[in-house]
């Protein structure tokens, strides 16, 4: 007897795509309030023109603003509370997050903490009042998809990892996608963020929460990213930072957004849980950690779910997991070394993560240890 299909799909964020889309749609800011807090990093949003476009749009509709530009890579809990205090003290009405995943995630946390008092010990509890400031997010990298998710990932020193605030009220109000802000990204950032998006799409398909809708988005996201891979490999070969063709930048940004929609519904897996340790302890870029680890989880899944693995490989136009690993090696270069003692520590931390329950194939601690060894010890 066939099993009936049951799932829920919820993605309330309005997505606006195109060159100059912020200024062309400045009226969207009007209903959000009279004063905004712009949350961003110190330099990149100024260099790529995104901050100027936002401030121009706000001025055009008579909205006052102030800028909180202290967001570092992998933002901390204290950073979020500091931004929330600034928002409350200055009586802002809504948040505009500009940047990669770090400023966007920080912006979401600030929007929550500025609207309600949450003690730090309860920050990751998932138990919140239905109060949050409206959020407008502007991605300037093509990887995290945070502009369409209900997650805010913060560095959690107490747990020695990165931890997610997850709640539907964290879905942004509006996301503006303008690929021109990504045109001057360094090659390594382009590659790492693209791998992050690819990992989101693939992990969504490896989730117990995967659905027909999320898998359809994932497959198209994978196709768009893989279509850009030859350009990345060619740039590596030529040692050329150079500009990607604008249409490829647009593809990557759309693919990242779609992959964000995937994990908003399906979540991530052990790959992210493992990667958080490599980022927290070894300061390895998040997207890169996903690329280091994803192949070995695919190999584990293949043992009991070969049809699923085959479907994912087909979406990438690859024949087997070894081909995927060769591709990652070409994009990532030599892998970082991690000692057996570090692997033991990271494996224990990984097994405490919520993502484990999301895995279509739930790994044991020994599985996690072996995946770390094969991914992060070059002589294994």
For 181-236, how does the pLDDT look when each residue is reduced to its tens digit (9 = 90+)? 999 999 999 999 999 999 999 999 999 999 999 999 999 999 999 999 999 999 89
Rounded CA separation 299/289 (Å)? 17
pLDDT digits (tens, 9 = 90+) for 106-121: 999 999 999 999 999 9
Report pLDDT for 6: 87
Tokens of 249: 């930048």
3-state SS record for the chain: CCCCCCCCCCCCCEEEECCCHHHHCHHHHHHHCCEEEEECCCCHHHHCCHHHHHHHHHHHCCCEEEEECCCCCCCEHHHHHHHHHHHHHCCCCEEEEEECHHHHHHHHHHHHHCCCCCCHHHCCCCCCCCCCCCEEEEECCCCCCHHHCCEEEEEECCCCEEEEEECHHHCCCEEEECHHHHCCCCHHHHHHHHHHHHHHHHHHHCECCCCHHHHHHHHHHHHHHHHHHHHHHHHHHCCCCCCCCHHHHHHHHHHHHHHHHHHHHHCCCHHHHHHHHHHHHHCCCHHHHHHHHHHHHHHHHHHHCHHHHHHHHHHCCCCCHHHHHHHHHHHHCCCCCCCHHHHHHHHHHHHCCHHHHHECCCCCHHHHHHHHHHHHCCCC
Say yes or no to pLDDT of 317 above 50.
yes
With 80 as the cut, is the pLDDT of residue 157 above it? Answer: yes
pLDDT tens, 325-343? 999 999 999 899 899 999 9
Residue-wise pLDDT for 13-49, tens only, equals: 999 999 999 999 999 999 999 999 999 999 999 999 9
Task: Note the pLDDT tens digit of each residue in 253-299.
Answer: 999 999 999 999 999 999 999 999 999 999 999 999 999 999 999 99
**Radius of gyration of the CA atoms of the chain, in A:** 20
Residues in the chain: 380
Q: Angle at CA 20, nearest 5°, toward 17 and 23?
A: 105
pLDDT, one tens digit per residue, over 43-99 is: 999 999 999 999 999 999 999 999 999 999 999 999 999 999 999 999 999 999 999
Contacts of 211 (CB under 8 A, 6+ apart): 5, 7, 9, 265, 266
- pLDDT at 237 (0 to 100): 85
Q: Quote the pLDDT of residue 1.
A: 36
pLDDT at 4: 74
pLDDT at 379: 52
Does the structure show a pLDDT above 60 at 2?
A: no
Which domains are assigned to the chain?
A: 14-182 (3.40.50.1970), 187-376 (1.20.1090.10)
Residues 298/309, Cβ–Cβ less than 8 Å: yes
**Single pTM value for the model:** 0.95
Beta carbons of 288 and 195 less than 8 angstroms apart: yes
* Contact between residue 116 and residue 75 where contact means Cβ atoms under 8 Å apart: no
Quickly tell me which residue has 């994978």 as its tokens.
Answer: 222
Band (pLDDT 50/70/90 cuts) for residue 244 is confident
């Amino acid at each position: 007897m066939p099993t009936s299909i049951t799932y829920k799909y919820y993605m309330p964020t309005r997505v606006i795509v195109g060159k100059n889309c912020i200024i062309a749609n400045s009226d969207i800011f009007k209903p959000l309030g009279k004063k905004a807090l712009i949350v961003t990093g110190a330099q990149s949003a100024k260099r790529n023109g995104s901050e100027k476009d936002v401030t121009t749009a706000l001025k055009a509709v008579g909205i006052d603003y102030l800028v909180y530009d202290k967001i570092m890579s992998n933002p901390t809990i204290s950073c979020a509370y500091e931004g929330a205090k600034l928002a409350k003290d200055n009586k802002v009405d809504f948040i505009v997050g500009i940047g990669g995943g770090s400023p966007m995630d920080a912006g979401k946390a600030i929007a929550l903490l500025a609207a309600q008092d949450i003690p730090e010990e309860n920050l990751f509890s998932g138990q919140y009042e239905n109060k949050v400031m409206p959020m407008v997010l502007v991605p300037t990298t093509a990887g995290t998809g945070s502009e369409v998710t209900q997650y805010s990932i913060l560095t959690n020193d107490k747990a020695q990892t990165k931890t997610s605030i997850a709640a539907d009220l964290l879905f942004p109000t509006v996301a503006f996608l303008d690929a021109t802000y990504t045109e001057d990204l360094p090659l390594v950032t382009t590659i790492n963020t693209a791998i992050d998006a690819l990992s989101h799409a693939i992990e969504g398909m490896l989730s117990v929460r995967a659905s027909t809708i999320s898998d359809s988005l994932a497959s198209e996201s994978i196709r768009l990213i893989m279509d850009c891979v030859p350009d990345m490999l060619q740039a590596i070969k030529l040692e050329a930072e150079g500009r990607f063709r604008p249409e490829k930048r647009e593809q990557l940004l759309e693919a990242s957004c779609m992959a964000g929609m995937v994990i908003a519904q399906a979540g991530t897996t052990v790959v992210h849980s493992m990667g958080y340790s490599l980022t927290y302890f070894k300061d390895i870029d998040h997207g890169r950690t996903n690329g280091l680890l994803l192949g070995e989880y695919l190999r584990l899944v293949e043992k009991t779910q070969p049809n699923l693995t085959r479907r994912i490989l087909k979406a990438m136009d690859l024949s087997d997991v070894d081909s995927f690993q060769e591709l990652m090696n070409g994009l990532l270069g030599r892998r970082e070394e991690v000692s057996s003692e570090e692997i033991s520590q990271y494996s224990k931390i990984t097994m405490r993560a919520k993502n484990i329950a999301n895995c279509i194939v739930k790994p044991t601690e020994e599985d996690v240890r072996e995946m770390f060894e094969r991914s992060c010890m070059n002589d294994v």
